[in-house]
Every structure is written in structure tokens, then in C-alpha cells.
């Protein structure tokens, strides 16, 4: 266990900056009084007094008799934002650039952040560990790949503003950005309604709230638009190009007309080889010209990044879930 050996007044200074940054305090905002600081920290009156006097002499705060103390500058704020994108190594075991979906997402976020004049940082986490000590050095972090197995308790300790992308976890105090696949599913079933086609839906073995949401939306679209269509579901690991036994067996046995859902990019040729007819393949994808359920990342970032910047300007704003609609490419 590490121990902070810096002088007590510098420790308190760091703690106050963390508190003010997390609270979204700006120039002109009133800070806690000397007595209030003593109540929420374990520093002595002497340390608190010295720290506040140092901050005043440096021009960081202004103390007015009878009115309190106010921020004059915010040393933790730069002229640009530091924005980090973190993905789950336990989900993307081969690395993020071995996965076209996440690769496109990284490229889109980095391009937007840098073009806006800010700094971009790429990082990762695991189901058991969040690098909050790295996140503390940033202004905002965007997380993806959180599953039901991911321990996110430590996120509440970071000073960085947290946003979740393609993550559904009810009750979390973070802004989130979700892709809506409902409309594309409905459009797919509408395209050939009444032809009694056979659909094979590839669900993910990586269980998460967004995975369950996609599956539920698919089933609702089937029942609402084309209930006579025959549907079968199997679970696949879309992160592994080699794990195809269940897929092969389902295709040979079921002979579907349409295969949709979590489709690995290398499975298309295999699917056509295993099928007796020209099966239609609709997978989840970013910026793809192939058939499937597609998200235009440039358009999506026009929603995501301004919202992140706006929340950084006002960290006390209400938590919001933003929805972006994917499109169906037949």
C-alpha cells in the first residue's frame, strides 16, 4: 500500500483541488469555510489555516471578511480538455485494434477530440480493475465494454467526468451514449414481410445490459412486423474468429435465409460456404458499406463530443442518456 509522504498542507491542497474539480467549481464560486474543511477532512486547524493562506497568497482564492472565500483561478483547468477513451481488455482480449468495431470507435473519437483542439488518451481496464489514478489526470473519460462482470465501484472516486458509450446499467450517475438498433430491426423485417423467411439471430456470449437490450429489441421487431417468420437464436463469441462450431451447426441444421446480430468480420465467407443458398448477412458495424446495422461515427461524434464538452463546462448538470439511431443497409 502506497503512503503519501508529501507535507500535510500539500496533501490538503491536492484534496481540495480534487474536491473542487469534481464539484465543477468555477472562478467566482464560493469555497468551503475553514471550519467546514476541518469537518470533512482529517487535517488539523494549523494545516487548514496554512493551506488557505498559501492559496490566497498565490492568488488562487480570495478571502473576504464576513463573506467567505472565493475561487480566483482554477489551476486544474487547462486551455484544452484531456479526454480519455477506455475499453475493457476482458472483452476485447486480442486488443482493440483487432476488433473493427472498437477500432472505428477509437478513430472517430480521437479524430473529433484532436480536431476540436483537445488532447486524446487511449487506455483500458479489466472487469476487476479500473485505472482511476490515470483517469484523475484527465478531464473526461469515455468507457465502453462494461459487462455484468465489471466492477465499477471505484469510478465514483475519480475526479474525471465519466461517460459511458454503448453501456446500459440502470441507476448509474453517468452520462451515457447508446445506439438504437430498434428502427433497423423493424426495417429488416419490413423488407421481406410475409415471405416466411428463416432468421438466425447471433446473440453474444458476453453478457451485458446492451446485449440483452439488442436481443429484446430484435424479438419485439419480429413479433410486431413479421410474426410468421421463423427465428432461431444461438450464442456466439463475436470476438473470436475461430469459435464457429455452434454457428456451423446452426447453419447446416436450420439453413437460414437471413443471419443477423453479432457477426465477426471474418465469418461472412464461411457463412456463404456453409449455406445452400445466398444467405443475407446483417451484422452490427461502424462506417461499413456492407449490408448490416450501421452507425456513421462522424455523425455520432457530432452528438457525443459536444455533450461531453458541455458537461465539462457544467459538471452539475443533470445526468442524460443520449440515443443515436443506427441505419439498416440492405
* pLDDT of res. 6: 65
Q: Which three cell numbers stand for residue 309?
A: 464538452
Burial classification of residue 316, based on how many CB atoms lie within 10 Å of its CB (0-12 exposed, 13-18 middle, 19 or more buried): exposed
pLDDT > 90? residue 7: no
Domain-terminating residue out of 43, 71, 99:
71
Domain at 63, CATH number: 1.10.10.10
Check whether residue 249 and residue 199 sit in a common domain. yes
Domain at 248, CATH number: 3.40.50.2300
- What are the residues whose beta carbons fall under 8 Å from the beta carbon of 327, sequence distance 6 or more? 183, 184, 293, 294, 295, 296
- Of the two residues 262 and 195, the one the predictor is more confident about is 262
- What are the residues whose beta carbons fall under 8 Å from the beta carbon of 195, sequence distance 6 or more? 229
Gap between the Cα atoms of 301 and 307, Å rounded? 9
What are the backbone dihedrals phi and psi of residue 293, each rounded to the nearest 5 degrees, phi first? -105, 105
pLDDT > 60? residue 62: yes
- Of the two residues 166 and 190, the one the predictor is more confident about is 190
Check whether residue 207 and residue 269 sit in a common domain. yes
Q: Is position 66 within any domain? A: yes
Check whether residue 53 and residue 116 sit in a common domain. no
* pLDDT of res. 206: 81
What are the backbone dihedrals phi and psi of residue 275, each rounded to the nearest 5 degrees, phi first? -100, 145
Residue 229 and residue 222 in contact, taking contact as beta carbons nearer than 8 Å = yes
Q: Is position 244 within any domain? A: yes
Domain-terminating residue out of 30, 46, 71:
71
What single-letter DSSP state applies at residue 320? -
Identify the domain containing residue 60 by its residue range.
8-71
Check whether residue 285 and residue 198 sit in a common domain. yes
Q: Is position 133 within any domain? A: yes
Alpha helices in 165-244 (DSSP H): 182-191, 209-225
Q: Is position 317 within any domain? A: no
* pLDDT of res. 43: 87
Check whether residue 127 and residue 49 sit in a common domain. no
Q: Is position 2 within any domain? A: no
- What are the residues whose beta carbons fall under 8 Å from the beta carbon of 183, sequence distance 6 or more? 325, 326, 327, 328
Gap between the Cα atoms of 180 and 214, Å rounded? 8
Check whether residue 154 and residue 302 sit in a common domain. yes
3-state secondary structure of 322: strand
- Least confident stretch, 61-65, 234-238, 295-299: 61-65
Compute the residue count for the chain: 330
Check whether residue 187 and residue 256 sit in a common domain. yes
Check whether residue 302 and residue 169 sit in a common domain. yes
pLDDT digits (tens, 9 = 90+) for 198-251: 999 999 988 777 888 899 999 999 999 999 999 999 999 988 888 899 999 999
Check whether residue 216 and residue 243 sit in a common domain. yes
Check whether residue 170 and residue 220 sit in a common domain. no
pLDDT > 50? residue 254: yes
Q: Please tell me the total count of domains within the chain.
A: 3
Q: Name the pLDDT band for 5 (thresholds 50, 70, 90).
A: very low
- Least confident stretch, 53-67, 115-129, 248-262: 53-67
Q: Is position 329 within any domain? A: no
Check whether residue 173 and residue 302 sit in a common domain. yes
Q: Is position 313 within any domain? A: no
* pLDDT of res. 1: 36
Amino acid at each position: 500500500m502506497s503512503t503519501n509522504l508529501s507535507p500535510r498542507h500539500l496533501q490538503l491542497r491536492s484534496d481540495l483541488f480534487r474536491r473542487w474539480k469534481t464539484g465543477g467549481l468555477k472562478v467566482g464560486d464560493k469555497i468551503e469555510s475553514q471550519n467546514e474543511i476541518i469537518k470533512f477532512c482529517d487535517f488539523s486547524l494549523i494545516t487548514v489555516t496554512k493551506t488557505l493562506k498559501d492559496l490566497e497568497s498565490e492568488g488562487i482564492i480570495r478571502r473576504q471578511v464576513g463573506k467567505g472565500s472565493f475561487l480566483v483561478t482554477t489551476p486544474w483547468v487547462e486551455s484544452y480538455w484531456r479526454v480519455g477513451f477506455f475499453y475493457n481488455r476482458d472483452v476485447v482480449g486480442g486488443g482493440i485494434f483487432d476488433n473493427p468495431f472498437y477500432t472505428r470507435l477509437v478513430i472517430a473519437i480521437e479524430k473529433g477530440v484532436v480536431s476540436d483542439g483537445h488532447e486524446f488518451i487511449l487506455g483500458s481496464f479489466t472487469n476487476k480493475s479500473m485505472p482511476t489514478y490515470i483517469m484523475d489526470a484527465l478531464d473526461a473519460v469515455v468507457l465502453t465494454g462494461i459487462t455484468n462482470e465489471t466492477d465499477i465501484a471505484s469510478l465514483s472516486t475519480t475526479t474525471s467526468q465519466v461517460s459511458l458509450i454503448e453501456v446500459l446499467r440502470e441507476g448509474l450517475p453517468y452520462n451515457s451514449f447508446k445506439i438504437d438498433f430498434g428502427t433497423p430491426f423493424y426495417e429488416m423485417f419490413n423488407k421481406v414481410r410475409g415471405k416466411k423467411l428463416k432468421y438466425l439471430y447471433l446473440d453474444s456470449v458476453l453478457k451485458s445490459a446492451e446485449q440483452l437490450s439488442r436481443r429484446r429489441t430484435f424479438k419485439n421487431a419480429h413479433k410486431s412486423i413479421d410474426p410468421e417468420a421463423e427465428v432461431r437464436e444461438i450464442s456466439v463469441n463475436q470476438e473470436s474468429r475461430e469459435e464457429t462450431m455452434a454457428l456451423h451447426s446452426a447453419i447446416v441444421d436450420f439453413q437460414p435465409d437471413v443471419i443477423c446480430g453479432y457477426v465477426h468480420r471474418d465469418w461472412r465467407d464461411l457463412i456463404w460456404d456453409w449455406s445452400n443458398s445466398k444467405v443475407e448477412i446483417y451484422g452490427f458495424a461502424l462506417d461499413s458499406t456492407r449490408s448490416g446495422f450501421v452507425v456513421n461515427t462522424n455523425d455520432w461524434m457530432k452528438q457525443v463530443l459536444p455533450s461531453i464538452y458541455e458537461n465539462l463546462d457544467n459538471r452539475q448538470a443533470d445526468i442524460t442518456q443520449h440515443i443515436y439511431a443506427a441505419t439498416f443497409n440492405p
